[in-house]
Structure 1
Amino acid sequence: MSQYIYLVRHGEQQDAQHGMGDGPLSARGRRQGQLLAERIGGLPLTATYHSPLQRASETARIIGERMPSIESQPSALLMDCVPTGKTTEMPSAYAPFFGAVTEAEVDAGTAQMADATAEFLAPRKGERHDLLITHNFVIAWFVREVLGAPAWRWMTLDQAHCGLTIIQRKPGRPWTLLTHNDLAHLPMELRTGLPDPLLV
C-alpha cells in the first residue's frame, strides 16, 4: 500500500510585500485556495495538517469547506522556518539572504525540519493520503530530502501560492517526487509567489 503526501503552500497573504510577518489571505489568496480545493476535492484524504500561522490556517479552512469530512489539524512542525544556514558548498549568490537571519533561527529551523521529516516521512501501515498546508521553505526542504540533494539546495526550490507538490512512497522503496509545484488549477493571473513570473 502506498503513502502519498500532498504538499501545498498557503495562498497569497494580504500586504505581505510590506514586511508583514503573518496575516490574512488576500482576495487573490482566497481564490487560489478555492481553486486548489476544487482540484483536490476528490482525493481520499486520510489526514490534513496545517501550519498554525494565519495564512496557512485560512487556506486550510477554505479547503475544509470543500472537504468537510476531514478536519485539518495544526502542526508546529509545519511552521515557516529557515532550514539551514550558510554551507561551504552554497554559491555565494545566496549569502545575502542570511544577513537578517540569526543563528538561533537557523538552529530552530534545522531542528524543526529534522522532526518534521521524521514525523511525516515515517513509514505507515495501509494506504495513506495526507495533505500538508505549509510554507515555501518547508516544502523545499521536503523535496530536497526526498531527492537526497545537498542541504543548501532547498534554496533553489520555489513554490507558488497554492501550488501542488506530490510525493509517494511504495513499500520497500524510497520516497519519490511525483510532481512539483503543479499549477494547472490556477490561471496565469493567480500564479503568484515565485521569484520570477512564469511566461508559460
Structure 2
Amino acid sequence: MAVTRFILVRHGETTWNKEGRYQGQIDTPLTAFGREQGQLAAQALKDIPIDICYASPLSRAVDTAMMCVAAHGLAVNTDSRLLEINHGEWEGLLSDDVGKTYPELLAQWKSSVVGVTMPGQGGEDITTVRDRSMAAFRDFAARHQGQTVLVVAHDAVNKAVLCDILDIDLSHFWQIKQDNTCINVFEYQDGKWRLVLLNSTNHLGFLYSGIEQKGL
C-alpha cells in the first residue's frame, strides 16, 4: 500500500486564545495576528504537494485552511468529527473563573485529562474526542491512499490524534504542545502510523514559542 501523508495544522490565534478563555465549539474569529500566522503557514506550505484539504467546520479552522490551500487551488472540505472538544459550561469562561467555580475538576483536567467529562450540556471527554477524530483520519487514509492530506483542526483534537498515532495513552496529552498554526506531519501505510514532524513553528520565526495558553 502506498504511503498516505498527513499535514496537520492547528488554527491561528483567536480573540479567546489571546484572552485565555475556553473556546470549545463556540465559533470565535481569528485575530489580525492569527491571520498573519495563517499566511505564514500558507507560505511554508505553498510548494508542498497537497491533494486535498479537510478542516473543522469552525471558522477559525476553515479560515486558516483557506489561507493554506489558496496557492494550491483547493477547496476546504469540512468534517464535524474534527470539532474542538465541547467544554460544556466552561465555554466562554476565563481560565481563572473556571478555577474558582470548578477547582477540583480543573485540577484533574490539568493533571490528567483522562476521566474528565466537561460539565453541562454537550460536555465531552477526551476519549470521545479521540475516537471521533481518529475515525475521520482513518476514513481519510482509506479514501486518499498515496496522497497528501492537509487537515486543519484544534489543540485538543491534535493532541488526542497525536497520542493515538504514537500509540500512547491519553494521559500523555499534556506532554504534547500545539502552538497556533504549528505544522505536524505523519504518515500511514499498511495499518501503521509514523510521526515525521511535531509542532513545527519555524515558519513563524522561532523554534519554540514559550507561549502557554490558559484556555484549554
Which runs of 5 or more residues in structure 2 are unaligned?
A: 88-104
Q: Which residue of 2 aligns with 1:89?
A: none
Q: Which residue of 2 aligns with 1:157?
A: 176
2:135 to 107, 112, 118: 118
Distance 2:49 2:207 in 1: 29
Q: Which residue of 2 aligns with 1:80?
A: 84
Q: 1:48 to 1:8 in 2, by over 3 A?
A: same
Q: TM-score, normalised by structure 2?
A: 0.73
In angstroms, what is the RMSD of aligned CA positions?
3.1
Q: Say whether residues 1:3 and 2:4 are aligned partners.
A: yes
Deviation at 1:181, TM superposition (A): 0.3
Q: 1:50 to 1:58 in 2, by over 3 A?
A: same
Distance 1:96 1:116 in 2: 20
The one-character-per-residue Cα deviations of 1:117-163 (angstroms, maximum 9, x if unpaired) are: 12313553641111110001111011100111112212321200000
1:1-200 correspondence to structure 2 within 5 Å: 1-16=2-17, 17=19, 19=21, 21=23, 22-68=27-73, 70-81=74-85, 95=108, 97=110, 101-102=118-119, 105-107=123-125, 110-122=127-139, 123-124=141-142, 126-170=145-189, 172=190, 174-188=192-206, 191=209, 194-195=212-213
Distance 2:207 2:6 in 1: 27
Distance 1:150 1:75 in 2: 25
Distance 2:186 2:135 in 1: 15
Q: TM-score, normalised by structure 1?
A: 0.79
Distance 1:128 1:94 in 2: 41
The one-character-per-residue Cα deviations of 1:35-89 (angstroms, maximum 9, x if unpaired) are: 1111111222221011111211211122232322x11111111110169xxxxxx
Distance 1:82 1:174 in 2: 29
Q: 1:79 to 1:192 in 2, by over 3 A?
A: farther
User: Residues 10 and 182 of structure 2 are in contact (CA less than 8 Å); yes or no, is this contact kept in structure 1?
Assistant: yes
Q: Which moved more, 1:118-127 or 1:172-181?
A: 118-127
Name the SS for the 2:204 alignment partner: coil
Name the SS for the 1:60 alignment partner: helix
User: Residues 147 and 176 of structure 1 are in contact (CA less than 8 Å); yes or no, is this contact kept in structure 2?
Assistant: yes
Residue identity in the other structure for 1:141: A
Identity fraction in percent = 22
Q: 1:100 to 1:151 in 2, by over 3 A?
A: closer
Provide the aligned length of Structure 1 versus Structure 2: 185
User: Residues 82 and 110 of structure 1 are in contact (CA less than 8 Å); yes or no, is this contact kept in structure 2?
Assistant: no
User: Residues 28 and 190 of structure 1 are in contact (CA less than 8 Å); yes or no, is this contact kept in structure 2?
Assistant: no
Distance 1:152 1:142 in 2: 13
User: Residues 53 and 69 of structure 2 are in contact (CA less than 8 Å); yes or no, is this contact kept in structure 1?
Assistant: no
User: Residues 117 and 123 of structure 2 are in contact (CA less than 8 Å); yes or no, is this contact kept in structure 1?
Assistant: no
Q: 1:153 to 1:29 in 2, by over 3 A?
A: same
Distance 1:24 1:189 in 2: 26
Q: 1:74 to 1:193 in 2, by over 3 A?
A: farther
